[in-house]
Each structure stands twice: as C-alpha cells, then as structure tokens.
Amino acid sequence: MSGAIVKRTPFFKILIANRGEIALRVMRTARRLGYGVVAVYSDADRDALHVREADQAVRIGEALPAQSYLKIDTIIAAAKASGAGAVHPGYGFLAENEDFAQACRDAGLVFIGPSPEAILAMGNKAGAKEIMQKAGVPCVPGYQGADQGDAVMLTEAKAIGFPVMIKAVAGGGGRGMRLVADAAAFPDALRSARSEAQGAFGDPTVILERAIVDPRHIEIQVFGDRHGNAIHLGERDCSVQRRHQKLIEEAPSPAVTPELRARMGAVAVQAVKAIGYEGAGTLEFLLDRAGNFYFMEMNTRLQVEHPVTEAITGLDLVELQLRVAGGEPLDLKQEDIPFSGHAIEVRLCSEDTGHDFMPQSGTMARWQMPDAIRVEHALQSGSEIPPFYDSMIAKVISHGKTRDEARGKLICALEQVTAFGVTTNQGFLIDCLRHPVFAKGEATTAFIGNNRDALLAPRPDRGSDLALAALLLYVTNPHAPPWQRGRSLSATFPLGLRIDLGHGVQEIEIVPERDGSYVATRNGDRFSFAIDELDQDSIRFHHDGLMEQAKFLRDGDRLYILHRGVTLSARDLTLAPPESASAAGGDGKVRAAMNGRVVAVLVKAGDKVAAGQPVMTLEAMKMEHVHTAGVAGTVSAIDVAEGEQVTTGKIVVEIEAAA
C-alpha cells in the first residue's frame, strides 16, 4: 500500500509549503541540521515573519488559500525555481493531499511525509475506517458510502441513530464537521458541512458517525521509516475543544493508564506497519467512560500539538521527520523512549469568545510573549492578522514534573501575554485551566459545552476594570495635567467619561485629588487610585491597599489594558454621538460581523423573515458563521453575491421591518 520504494537523492534546501508559526518551527530545526530554507507566501503574507526569516521566499498567489497555499503546480514551480530538493508541508493546506505528495515525487522532490499511497489510504476518513475495521481495530459505527445523495444520507443517519456526527472525509481541524441532534436539523447541517469542506479542502464528501456521548479525545503519535520500523511516542489528550477544534492538549492523558497506553500504542504501531507508513502520523481515538476506545481517523502529518510530545520525550519531531525523509532508519526502540513529567499546550486564537468564538482579524498593535516558557508564533508588534486563514496565532506550551506544576506554569505565562489590537481567547484559556473540572483532569469533549456559562461569565470586578480604564484614559489624555510623582494639585476639576468595555456604554467620573491621587466614581461607588509609576506603556498603582501593575496601549480613543492576566479593550466615547439601533441590526440592515467570504445567501428579495432567522453565511478563518435578521419583515435588498469577499460592517442584507 505504500508503493514502490523510491530512491531519493540527498537534499540540502527545504521549501516549506505553509505559513505562520509552523513555517518558523520547521525552519528552526532545518537550520540546526544545516539545511537552507525557502518560504512561500500569498499577497496577504508578503510582510509576514516567516517570509522575512527564510533564506529565500517565493510569491505563490493571491490571499485566498485556493489561490495560493492550495495551488500544487505553483508550489512545485516555486521549489524548482529556488533550488529546493525537499518540501515540508507543515499541517493544514496540502499536508494531507496525496496529489501534492505525488506531484513532489514526480518532480524529483522529497516530500517530507508519508507516501501518496499511504496518505490516500489513511488520510481519507472513510478509507481509513475500512482499513482499521479489516485489521480488527474498533471503530465508531457509521456510514462512509459512495452515495452522497441527500435522501440517502438522511436515511443512513436515521439508521445510525441520532445524535450523529457529519465529518468531511478530507482534512481536519474541525472544518466540515457538524453534530446533529435530530432529523429536522440534518439537511441544513449537511449543506453547511459540505460547503465548509469544499472551501477548506476542495472536497465536499462527508461520512456519518454515531456521536459518542462525552468521550475523551485521545491520539497516539506514531513514526515509521522505509526500513519497516515503527514506534509510538505515547498519547495526547485533546478533549478540550470548541466547534470540534482543539484548544488545550496535554501529554500524558489523565485518563490513560499504563496498560491502556500500551494497548492503544500497540494498535497504532500495528496499523502503521500494515501500510508501510513512513514519517510522522497520529491515530485519533474516542475513549468512553468505560475505557473502550474507538478509532476515528488518522492524520498523516505533523500535528499542531506535537510540542507536548516533544516536551515529555525530549525528542525533536521535526528532526525525526527530516531524518526519516532522508532515508535514515529510526534509531529508537519502543522500550527506550523516555517519558518525563507532564506537558500542556494551549492555542491562542484571534477570536471573540463572548460572541460565539467569532474569528477576529486586524493589526496586532502590541505583541509581547513571556520569556520563560515555549511559545510558537509568527507575529510581532504591527503584524497583520488576515481573515483568510486559521484563527490560531500562537501556541503556549508548559512542562513540569507534575500536571499541577505544568498547569500553574501555563496560567502564569498566559497572564503575561500582551496581545493588543485584536481580540484573543487569552482570558478564556486561563479560565479553562483554572476550572475545577480541568484541574482534576476530568475534562471530556463536553467540557466547554457543559461549563460554558461559568467560563464565559462576566468578571466579578467589572466595576474596578471600568475605574482603571477611566483612570488610564484620563492620565494618558494629551490635554490632561501631566502626572508627576509626589505632585499636589492646587485645584481639581472632575471629568465625566463615557466608556465602553464591550458591555455597553458606562458613565464614570474621574476626580484628581489635591494629594495627587485619583478617585473614580460610578453609580455611587468610589474607587481610589494612587499612582506610583507611569510610563508610556505601563502603570504601577495602589488600589484597595494593594500595589498592582498593568500594561496598556493608548491608540486614539481606544485603550488596551493587560491587568491581572486579562486583556481589556476600552473605547472612550465621551465626545462621540450616541449610537443608534443600527449597531445591533435594529434598523433592518444585516452587517458582516467580520472580514470574510460569502458562501451562502439564504434568502432572496421579497422573502418574509422572522427576527433571528438565518439570512447569510460568511466564511472567515476556515469556519462558517451564520448571520441572522435583526428584525422581522420583508427582505428589500441583497447587497452581496456568493463568493464575494466582504469587510467588517458591510451591509449584506436589508430588511424592511414589519409594521
């Protein structure tokens, strides 16, 4: 199944057919081993860090992945033009595309990954399940037939029994995946999954699986070489997910015993040996409460979460990839692989957790990562986060002797992350790590859903946040009296401010006291501050008997604050006119909530719609987002077409409100 052994010539330069943090990650190891590195970039990534760090870089097209990072012929031509002898696909995009691996082979390039035959066999979810079933590996009951007709799919879903999972056969990362509770919701979910799969992977084919209730998501890291050797590097627990995309990964799993690890590892090694697999791969399983595990799929590539395996084994997985691709045998025996301590990784994403994890794009005005911990990223202050790619912007990885130590280190590190300019899930990740269920090691794939209200609850000290924002807006105002240590004022004048911290406009008054301190007053509540130090980007102050610190950035009427591990974004609306109902769609105009591409217009002019009814679907950062009517009425205009790229705030549908 792996095909004929292909004699490969040595390579000295590697083209990395990817972008962002994984491109930089591969470059780091490649250079340590003495290889030259070539980057590719789309128009959106012309000034990206991975382009600047490479020895050479080649433009491969326009911003959309289909016009750049998914163009096989263009990437092969870039490798040839640069003199690269090998191609590393990273993850995502073409990493699990057998046509790309075959094109590299045909062009005389070393594909740093498995053979096209192995990718075809295991990269397709339906085909992989068939192979596993023949090998006696337990699989989730489902349907992976060739007949993809709507009626057939609904019939099969009913036969499997609801709830069911719809999954794209190609790719991964939660794209093209839907959990469907009943038959009534199935047609819309099927259409959406197909559309998302087509956009992300170029293949709308899906399979159906019975939904296992509250499982653990456990994956086994494997490696094989062309000499018939295969090993596993233990498991990772990837149960904490939103929208079927992983957010937190750890190794080892709190739920896996040494006996279970040996059983799952043996199954994984047997599977890769059976297909003559070469390179890095991951077999993913669902683990139920009774300890039964079911094969889901195999990822025929390096995983996003590979750093946690590196942390507990001390191995460089990219180095293993490069050595195996160069024809070297694995020099590791299963019994010799060390496992030490515990590692946890979180995915820092540019998304608004308070608005259904909606992806965010824009300029990262200030970007500072903690020093004493591993962080994989490709940003710097001033970097643009485009709307065309995945929302993950960094991975933060901790390692400790125990799970509690690793968890504590990670929380401390996240509290130091400075990400001003684009909303991230920083605070949400901290809340997940602190939650008692996660702390006890009991999180399943239902963790976020079951604890959503607690994880997304407003901060209890919102009044204090507002007061601090008001203080900083006051002292950073170019027209305010400059703060000076120990200075007393001969006269003080209160200043009324209107501030929005993302939860509506709030009125607050700042009064400079004669002793140099400040009092913020809101609805009768008083907050006193004494400033000890004030720099261009940080403040140290006393409040409620405590000395505290905060980082901040003033950008016009916008203020960003990092305080107690939480990033706040405040707008000074003191001089702004009151906002109208249009901000919430109450004027009948539906506006794009983010930069993205229109993938479905669900209504037409003249249609009657109810408030909350879906009218348009927008794709941004590889995920679909349904936009709904703000009022009941009649559709008077459709202002976009399917396939059109729109910017945040653009009117897409207009509705004449019912009388």
**Amino acid in the structure at residue 461:** D
Cite the beta strand spans of 317-388 per DSSP E: 342-349, 351-352, 358-359, 362-364, 366-368, 374-377, 383-385
Residue 25 gets the label, from left (phi > 0), alpha (psi -120 to 50) or beta, of: alpha
Cα 216–chain centre separation: 19
* Phi–psi pair at 627, nearest 5 degrees: -105, 140
Query: Considering only CA atoms, which of 484, 645, 462, 452 is closest in space to residue 564?
Result: 462
Name the DSSP letter for residue 462: H
Cis peptide before 252 (omega within 30 of 0): yes
Q: Alpha-carbon distance 189 to 24, whole Å?
A: 36
Catalytic residue among 175, 261, 301, 554: 301
474 and 548 Cβ atoms separated by less than 8 Å: no
Cα 273–chain centre separation: 32
Tokens encoding 67: 């016009």
Helix (H, G, I), strand (E, B) or coil at 49: helix
| Catalytic site includes residue 263 | no
Residues 6+ apart with CB under 8 A from 88: 14, 15, 16, 17, 18, 26, 30, 112, 113, 318, 321, 322
218 and 261 Cβ atoms separated by less than 8 Å: no
Query: Considering only CA atoms, which of 317, 363, 384, 357 is closest in space to residue 45?
Result: 384
**Amino acid in the structure at residue 138:** P
Stretch (H or E) spanning 420: strand 418-420
Residues 6+ apart with CB under 8 A from 312: 234, 251, 252, 339, 340, 341, 342, 343, 399
Q: Which residues are catalytic?
A: 301
